């Protein structure tokens, strides 16, 4: 016998009672559908909650990724700064090692002088090449040595100046920086021990820029501003306003203070150990022959005397009367 369920709907008004008869099969069907809807609804709520949580997690990860990228850029910039600082330390140590080596070989001196002149080639030793000179405003803004950095040998793994755009390359740079820092520390310690035992040589060795100005002509062969022929320039030219003080770059004794037809007013300081510095085209001489000089003493003023195309100081460094590159004896600008 089929079961039925009767539902009576009674109103508070008379004569409005309604009767609804539903078979048990329909009741079970409706119950099953209701249960299925509840399960589906609960699954939907759980899935939505999971998606909402995942979305929040993705936003957190994106924010964290952005923060890590910024930190990576900061670390990368610091690493680049450390590499440049280490390079400056290496250049400084190299110059110190060079200027304190009083047993230079002939080959080292020839390398410092540059190539030897060809037979019959004119040799001249002063004045700047005005045609190749940069505007004073440009050079003064830089106020640094004119040598460019050597190109990187990327095939051999030189990556100091390469842009590191991932953690792997940054890790390589950090490892290399650590190793080279250790090696340079050992070299500097050895150099310091050597310098400590050679105080007098160090005080007598030029180390500073002799006047405040900008470099306009380097050491080596160049085109003469007077003859147009390639000639040897045996010093550095430093342009500066007339009257700019000239400072002694090391201790010594004035060996010459007078006039020369090419150099104009000329000062020469004997620093001992076979080392002599010369200062040409000066306007005023504040020293006398035989006067003892200390590093930093004012010895003259920049001028335009002799064979000169403009106010500047012609600065020479000679070892055993052989001109060498003065830029190797300037530790600071």
Q: How far is 43 from 24, CA to CA, in rounded Å?
A: 28
Q: How far is 236 from 253, CA to CA, in rounded Å?
A: 21
Residue 228 exposed, middle or buried by CB count within 10 Å (0-12, 13-18, 19+): exposed
Q: Which residues pair with 294 in a beta bridge?
A: none
Q: What average pLDDT does the segment 257-263 reach? A: 89
Tokens representing 107? 């080959």
Tens of pLDDT, residues 168-209? 677 777 777 777 777 777 777 777 777 666 777 888 889 899
Nearest to 251 by CA among 238, 268, 269: 269
Q: How many CB atoms neighbour CB 323 within 10 A?
A: 21
Q: What band does 319 get if pLDDT is binned at 50, 70 and 90?
A: very high
Residue 13: per-residue pLDDT: 66
Tell me the pairing of strands 245-247 and 322-324.
Answer: unpaired
132 CB contacts (<8 Å, ≥6 apart)? 217, 222, 223
Q: How far is 318 from 50, CA to CA, in rounded Å?
A: 81
**The whole model's pTM is what?**
0.45
Nearest to 254 by CA among 270, 272, 265, 266: 270
Minimum mean pLDDT range among 84-93, 108-117, 119-128, 187-196: 108-117
């Amino acid at each position: 016998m089929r079961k039925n369920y009767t539902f009576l709907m009674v109103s508070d008004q008379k004569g409005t009672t309604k009767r609804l008869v539903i078979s048990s099969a329909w009741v079970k069907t409706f119950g099953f559908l209701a249960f299925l809807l509840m399960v589906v609804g609960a699954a939907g709520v759980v899935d939505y909650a999971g998606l909402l949580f995942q979305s929040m997690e993705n936003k957190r990860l994106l924010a964290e990724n952005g923060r890590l990228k910024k930190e990576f850029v900061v670390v990368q910039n610091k690493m680049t700064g450390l590499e440049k600082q280490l390079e400056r330390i290496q250049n400084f140590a190299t110059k110190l090692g060079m200027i304190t080596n009083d047993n230079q070989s002939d080959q080292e001196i020839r390398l410092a002088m540059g190539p030897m002149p060809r037979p019959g080639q004119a040799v001249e030793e002063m004045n700047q090449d005005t045609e190749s000179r940069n505007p004073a405003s440009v050079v003064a803004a830089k106020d640094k040595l004119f040598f460019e950095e050597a190109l990187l040998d990327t095939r051999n793994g030189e990556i100091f100046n390469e842009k590191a755009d991932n953690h792997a390359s940054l890790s390589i740079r950090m490892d290399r920086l650590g190793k080279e820092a250790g090696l340079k520390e050992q070299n500097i310690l050895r150099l310091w021990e050597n310098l400590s035992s050679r105080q007098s040589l160090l005080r007598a060795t030029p180390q500073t820029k002799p006047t405040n100005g900008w470099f306009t002509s380097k050491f080596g062969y160049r085109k003469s501003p007077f003859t147009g022929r390639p000639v040897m320039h045996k010093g550095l030219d430093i342009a500066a306003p007339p009257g700019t003080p000239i400072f002694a770059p090391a201790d010594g004794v004035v060996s010459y203070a007078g006039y020369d037809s090419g150099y104009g007013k000329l000062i020469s300081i004997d620093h001992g150990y076979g080392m002599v510095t010369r200062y040409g085209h000066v306007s005023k001489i504040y020293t006398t022959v035989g006067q003892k000089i200390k590093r930093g003493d004012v010895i003259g003023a920049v001028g335009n005397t002799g064979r000169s195309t403009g106010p500047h100081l012609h600065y020479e460094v000679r070892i055993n009367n052989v001109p060498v590159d003065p830029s190797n004896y300037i530790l600071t600008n």
